[in-house]
Amino acid sequence: MKVIMFEGTPEEFSAASPALKSSLVSPIEEARLGDPAETLSTGSALRRSTSMQEARLGDLAETGTDRGRFVTEDEACKILSWREISDAMRKVLVALRLAGDQIMSSEDLRKVAGYDADQFRGMMGAFGRRISKAVGKDLWFFRKDWDAAKGHQNWRSLPPSVIQAMDKLGIR
C-alpha cells in the first residue's frame, strides 16, 4: 500500500493531481523510475509523470502498460461495431490514423470533431464506456499520455490492431 501526502493550495493540488494519480505505479515502473518518496519529496511529481509516460510509450508501446494491454483486432472490431459510431468519433479515429507518429493534442482532436471541450470529453468518456461494456476494463484502445504542463492528453498513433479493425469495418 502506498500513501502520498500532498501539502499545497487547492490550485496546486489540481495542477498536481494527474501526476499524483500517476505516481501509484507498479513495482516494474517503480524500479525503472526510482524511489517515489524521493521523487515526491523533492517536488518533481510532474517530471515523474512525464518520465512514466515516456517509459510507457517506449518499452511497453506494443502491449499497453503492465496494468493492461492494447485491444486485439477482434476486440477492436467488437468495440467499433457494438453501436454505430458518431460522425465526430469517426473523424477523430481517422485523424489519429492519418497522424501516424505525430502527436495530436485533445484540442486538435476536438477541433477535428467540431466539438467544444466539454462535448469532446463527453464523447471520449462515452467511448471509454463503450470499450468497458463491449470487451472489459484494463484494455487500451488509444496510445495517449498526459501532458501535465498543459493539462491535457496527447494522442499518438493508433495501435496496429485498431487500424486493422478499422480497415476490416471500412472506417475511413
The pLDDT profile of the chain, 172 residues, written as one tens digit per residue, is 455 666 666 666 666 666 555 444 444 444 444 444 433 433 434 333 333 333 344 334 444 445 678 899 999 999 999 889 999 999 999 999 999 889 999 999 999 999 999 999 999 999 999 999 899 888 888 888 888 888 888 888 899 999 999 999 999 8
Q: Residue 29: which residues within 8 A CB-CB, separation 6 or more?
A: 52, 55, 66
Cell numbers standing for residue 98 = 492519418
Which fold is adopted by the domain 69-169? Arc Repressor Mutant, subunit A (1.10.10)
Domain ranges in the chain?
10-58, 69-169
Nearest in space to 130 (alpha carbons), one of 90, 172, 74, 78? 78
- The pTM score is 0.61
- How far is residue 29's CA from residue 8's CA, in Å, rounded to a whole number? 26
